[in-house]
Amino acid sequence: MNILVIDVGTSSVRSALVSPQATVVDEHRRSCLPVTPAAGMVEFDPAEIRDAVLGVAASMLDAHGEPVAAVGIATQRASTMIWDRATGEPVGPGLGWQDLRTLGTCLALQAEGVRLAPNQSATKVAWLLDTFDPDRSRDLCFGTIDSWVAWTLSGGEAHVTDLSNAALTGLLDPSRAPWTTADTSPWNERLLERLGIPAGMLPNLVDTSGSIATAAALRGAPPICSLVGDQQASLAGQGVVHPATAKITFGTGGMLDMVVGPRRHVSGARNDGGTFPIVTWRRGGEATWGVEAIMLSAGTNVEWLRDDLGVIDTVEESDRLAASCADTGGVTYVPALLGLGTPYWDYGARGTLVGLTRGSGRAEVVRAVLEGVAHRGADLVEAAEADTGQHIETLRVDGGMSRNATFIAALANATGRRVEVSPVVEATALGAGLLAGLEVGTWGSWDDLAATWSPRAAVDPDGPADRDRWRRAVERAAGWIPELSVLDF
């Protein structure tokens, strides 16, 4: 039987059917856009997401008219909401992971020796409580999107999260790692007290792949068998389940995720090479560890060429135009429109175009932008290898930019290794389906999941990229806004 997946992204909710042949056979999607009431603030409507989840799930089940073996849930991470336990109704807006309204709180906590980033959930839930329940008198639930979807599908029976999502909240107690099922509570009690977050409002920790709850709100009440953050779902969807394998998702931004193994080889909030330790998933009570490297802007740079500069009319044109010239003619672009993430972590860096001459045309500039994003991809690979001591032999990619052949060729050259392209643009739904199918026996082992990988294309490097020139260009982009460059989370 097929597996139903609910996939909640930043701008849409979709349902997908994953077949026993590890293909996505159908997809229904509904737009759910966040709003920005003021600069740095990103909100969403939890009730709208709830209605969209139930709507796309029902429409998929109605369209196919047959039962499903299980339900998988994949979601954006760290976005935060609270709701009334008795009524199930949201209290206040949800705060998107991009929301920066608690930046000042994070800086104040740093002075106390508490390191939290504004994209994490911890200070967001404290802000929601301070605003909507200042005396902490109400019986409320806190959850990230995965918790909200599980609560919705289970008819209010399951208040849960998994490690791939919980690790992004900032609320886990690191001294209790690896947070096995033997732990009575994985949460940092001292931090909860400092932020005024009642422990009773936090979800229970469950396996990423396992018997999680019953989707009582759906026809046939199928079991919910996976609960996973979007980047970890993409890992599984690209067959990246064994140590020393990695993928990069090139969407609006870029995220490299790498599987390290059952033991935590890294420690601290951020590793020396600029990556973050993550839990890729937990199954049978045992966690698998990995690292994550972050590119703050990837596809955003191509959208900038289209929407702001008017250099291209469509995103697809970037591929054709860049391919029309053999090289950039010495032009180098640093894609730092929002600063630089791994390994530099310079929020004050800004986009930089160097090496222009009178002969530099549209094609050379567009090609430089694509190659700049490719060089940032190589930065992420180098950081992950430095922090883990493991070599990434082949790189797998998904996301919107994975459709750009000129970019993929540039990525192969910049990284110096084969690049394999996902057969689906977004591998999150497929990954959540595979993780759910692992629990119900559709696939029998992690090796079976790895064997489902069948890339749409594989591209080998055909020449060296000038990484020294790239590093010189990064030096010119760095520290452009000093007051932002000094920030560190």
**How far apart, in whole angstroms, are the C-alpha atoms of residue 201 and residue 133?**
12
Average pLDDT of every residue of the chain: 95
Say if CB 254 and CB 239 are below 8 A apart: no
**Angstrom distances, CA of residue 278 to CA of 172, 258, 271, 350:** 12, 9, 11, 28
**How far apart, in whole angstroms, are the C-alpha atoms of residue 361 and residue 329?**
9
Q: What is the pTM of this model?
A: 0.95
143-152, 169-178, 202-211: least confident range: 169-178
Residue from 387, 397, 393, 446 nearest 234 by CA: 397
Q: With bands split at pLDDT 50, 70 and 90, how would you rate the model's confidence at 185?
A: confident
Identify the pLDDT of residue 267: 54
Tokens representing 401 are 């930019």
| Rg (the chain; Cα; Å) | 22
**How far apart, in whole angstroms, are the C-alpha atoms of residue 288 and residue 283?**
8
SS3 77: coil
| pLDDT tens readout for residues 29-71 | 999 999 999 989 999 999 999 999 999 999 999 999 999 999 9
| pLDDT tens readout for residues 354-389 | 999 999 999 999 999 999 999 999 999 999 999 999
* Residue-range domains of the chain with CATH: 3-230 (3.30.420.40), 239-421+456-489 (3.30.420.40)
Q: How far apart are the first and last CA of the chain?
A: 45
Identify the pLDDT of residue 263: 74
Burial 149-177 (b: 16+ CB within 10 A, else e): bbbbbbebebbbbbbbbbbbbbbbbeeeb
The share of the chain scoring above pLDDT 90, in percent, equals 93
